[in-house]
Structure 1
Amino acid sequence: MDRVPQTPPQPQPRPAAALSTGAVARRLGVSPTTLRSWERRYAIGPARREAGRHRRWTPPDIARLELMCRLTADGVPPAEAARAALGVAAGERRAEAAPPPPAPTPGGTGALPLGAVRTECRGLSRAAVRLDAPTVAELLEAALAEHGLVTAWEEVIAPTLHAVGRKWATAGERYVEVEHLLSWQISSALHRIRPVPEPPRSPPVLLACVPGEQHSLPIEALTAVLGQRGLPARMFGAALPAEALRDAVRRTGPRAVVLWAQSRTTADPALARSVAGIEWGLRGARSRPALLLAGPGWSTDVQAPRTERLYGLRSGLAVIESLAPPRAATGAAGAEPFAYGS
């Protein structure tokens, strides 16, 4: 008698991983306190909870929170938004036979075009679109504490700024307020980073935007990380007049001058050459600074002695750290200048 072949048991799909309250907060761009408040006030918490354990949020729980975030961002009062989110969830349970609805766009119609980025970027962008300044500040502090300044800038802050800039460029005058709020909060977070004491009698690094250039966040980040490393830095911010820049170089005798230009219209090769040519010191032993050009505005080579480009915060820091007072190390080649926004 022939044996009837038995069908091997099919593996059961693994349940989707549940997230902690902190992980959900970072993903949505709200504070953990806000999530706990919503759960307490509006009963929009995890559908299931195990006794004696922390809250764990499943994908359906998170989908309800995403809907509530979108509604509150559109001006719907929280209580009404919670009722709507819970009502949608109840309707989905009653219509199990219906095809699943398309996945909602994170952040709604105002979501920023982020692409494949860290979860923290999505949370930060959502908070910025909602103009939720306290949460933006909290998320920035968390990213800086967890990843350090360089990684937080390159993998969380800069991608979010890029997305804001792209959204602003394609939406006319909309979202300018988002860019301004986010930029202010980032600048404030950078200024709260305390530098370590400078070594005595060490020539500083001067950092400034060229005349007419208002975008200073990237060199604010570089200034902050130099301070963390104990490297003396003098930051002059946006749109420093040309003569003031030359006077500062003569008065301080810096080891390097970093000039930031975000756009080609502000980049000034003639100014760069004049700064590179400034000398100080006794006759026969005069010194010049290394000139480091940063930003996408420097699209053409500047023919000047001891001049090179900075590419990215991490590699730019490495170039500055390698500088010895008479000569500079060779920077990275072939990379794109670090920039952000519009």
Structure 2
Amino acid sequence: MASDTDADDALSLSTGAVARRLGVAATTLRSWERRYGIGPAVREDGRHRRWTRGDIALVEEMCRLTGQGVPPAEAARAAQRAAPAPDARAPDVPDGRPRGGPGGRTALPLGDVRQECRGLARAAVRLDAPAMEELLEAVIAEHGVVTAWEEVLAPTLHAVGRKWATAGERYVEVEHLLSWHVSSAIRRAHTVRGAQPLPPALLACVPGEEHSLPMEALAAALGERGLPARMFGAALPAEALFEAVRRSGPSAVVLWAQSRSTADRALVQWIAGMEWGVRGARESPALLLAGPGWAGMGAVPGTGRLQGLRSALDVIEELMRA
């Protein structure tokens, strides 16, 4: 029969994999190993770091302590003192994650999600900005904007919102820092290469609506497909929205409303009735409504509803190429 040590060694992860799992920058893990001896006990072929469950448990405790404000040197000593003996470790579920999940009472309610999502959530709770930046850049580069948004970024943002809603005024700082880094990562990814000569899509949040991240993700995803877009951000005033539509002559206008309090039917009817161009060749935009705020409003003639980033891209691309 295999010993506990053999079972522990069966989980052998690289530093990058551990960084994604715990939501720590790989450079931070290497720094902790160099300064405090918190790192893998075994090196494959004497060179490559390979992390076992015991190694991961030790650095996870280090993360927990530093997240509570304990100085790194003191946290390292405390983590090493508290490290359990190999035969006292809690059993693991088949995928190698400890039962009960990491983070204790500060953990975000994520459910069944990708490991990158768990890593990002842990970094957010610790307010670890360098780790968030590294994780976001890696997941967008590897999976693209759409998959990164649907499977990592949005679930983490929603989990922070749920945690905030159930914890009073706590975790507001987590939401703000995470949102800022998500926005920054998406904007860095918003590079339109070889944009096609098509009328652009105009993206904006309705007046009073400050939640612009979904529209930022849509703009970046359109850019990945080489489709032109004009992103006007949060809370665009009605007159400015009208002027932007008139001057840019877009193929589609997408209006985002996060809540029913900002979803304005009169504004939608006004934009839907717009025309521009010379007499005899008037044009009107295809008006698309996105976001949960429109859910309680009845259908408005001349408009469509968007559901999800991936399907929204397909709808907009079809309109632009028509």
State the TM-score, normalizing by the size of structure 1.
0.85
* Residue of 47, 50, 54 corresponding to 1:56: 50
1:252 aligned to 2:245?
Answer: no
Aligned residues: 312
Match of 2:295 in 1: 299
Structure 1, gaps ≥5 residues long: 1-9, 327-342
The answer to whether the Cα contact below 8 Å between 1:128 and 1:182 also exists between their aligned partners in 2 is yes
* Residue of 157, 162, 174 corresponding to 1:161: 157
Q: Distance in 1 between matches of 2:299 and 2:282?
A: 21
1:230 aligned to 2:188?
Answer: no
Deviation at 1:47, TM superposition (A): 2.6
- Per-residue CA deviations over 1:230-256 (Å, capped at 9, x if unaligned) read 212111110111111112112222111
The answer to whether the Cα contact below 8 Å between 2:163 and 2:171 also exists between their aligned partners in 1 is yes
Query: Cα 1:81–1:300, aligned 2, differ >3 Å: closer, same or farther?
Result: same
Deviation at 1:204, TM superposition (A): 1.2
Query: Cα 1:274–1:72, aligned 2, differ >3 Å: closer, same or farther?
Result: same
Q: Distance in 1 between matches of 2:148 and 2:242?
A: 33
Q: Distance in 1 between matches of 2:280 and 2:171?
A: 56
- Per-residue CA deviations over 1:188-243 (Å, capped at 9, x if unaligned) read 1111122124334x211111001110000000010111122221211111011111
Q: Distance in 2 between matches of 1:107 and 1:236?
A: 38
Q: Distance in 1 between matches of 2:63 and 2:167?
A: 22
* Residue of 78, 85, 92 corresponding to 1:92: 85
Q: Distance in 1 between matches of 2:128 and 2:24?
A: 8
Match of 1:215 in 2: 211
1:239 aligned to 2:200?
Answer: no
The answer to whether the Cα contact below 8 Å between 1:113 and 1:163 also exists between their aligned partners in 2 is yes
Match of 2:133 in 1: 137
Q: Distance in 1 between matches of 2:314 and 2:2?
A: 51
Q: Distance in 1 between matches of 2:17 and 2:295?
A: 41
1:82 aligned to 2:76?
Answer: yes
Amino acid at match of 1:82: A
Deviation at 1:324, TM superposition (A): 4.5
Match of 1:106 in 2: 102
Q: Distance in 1 between matches of 2:226 and 2:51?
A: 43
- 1:1-342 correspondence to structure 2 within 5 Å: 15=7, 16-89=10-83, 91-93=84-86, 96=87, 100=90, 103=99, 105-193=101-189, 194-200=191-197, 202-324=198-320
Query: Cα 1:246–1:191, aligned 2, differ >3 Å: closer, same or farther?
Result: same
Deviation at 1:308, TM superposition (A): 0.8
Q: Distance in 2 between matches of 1:73 and 1:181?
A: 15
Q: Distance in 2 between matches of 1:315 and 1:139?
A: 26
Deviation at 1:17, TM superposition (A): 2.1
Amino acid at match of 2:132: V
Match of 2:94 in 1: none
- Root mean square deviation of aligned Cα: 2.1
Q: Distance in 2 between matches of 1:131 and 1:12?
A: 38
The answer to whether the Cα contact below 8 Å between 1:273 and 1:302 also exists between their aligned partners in 2 is no
Q: Distance in 2 between matches of 1:293 and 1:309?
A: 5
Deviation at 1:288, TM superposition (A): 1.0
Amino acid at match of 1:73: G
- Per-residue CA deviations over 1:81-111 (Å, capped at 9, x if unaligned) read 111211122x535xx5x69599564123211
The answer to whether the Cα contact below 8 Å between 2:108 and 2:159 also exists between their aligned partners in 1 is yes
Query: Cα 1:151–1:325, aligned 2, differ >3 Å: closer, same or farther?
Result: closer
Any idea what SS the aligned residue of 1:237 has?
Answer: coil
Any idea what SS the aligned residue of 1:215 has?
Answer: coil
Moved more, 314-323 or 243-252: 243-252
Q: Distance in 2 between matches of 1:187 and 1:213?
A: 16
Moved more, 190-199 or 63-72: 190-199
Deviation at 1:286, TM superposition (A): 1.6
The answer to whether the Cα contact below 8 Å between 2:199 and 2:320 also exists between their aligned partners in 1 is no
